[in-house]
Amino acid sequence: MTLVHHKQNILDYITTERSDPQNYRLYKVINDPNIKLKRLLKDMVKEGLITIHFEDHKGQIKRILTKQRDCINYE
């Protein structure tokens, strides 16, 4: 599996399951312990695939991932 495949899995998870996934849920989607999740999310923000913002929810800070594009195009 390549990083593009993992990025697409995360995009699909955001649309179908949750927009505020915790790290352990994203690691289940990625299913590869060698991938660094924070680095992958930062790269996705740099490429314009997602945006990350934080919200206060009952005294807890939640990370919200918002999808910017549906699919990854590398041409």
pLDDT at 75: 55
pTM: 0.82
DSSP the chain: --HHHHHHHHHHHHHHT-SS--HHHHHHHH--TTS-HHHHHHHHHHTTSEEEEEEEETTEEEEEEEES-SS----
Give 49-75 pLDDT, tens digit per residue: 999 999 998 898 999 998 888 777 665
Note the pLDDT of residue 4: 86
Read off the pLDDT of residues 43-54 as tens digits, 9 standing for 90 and up: 999 988 999 999
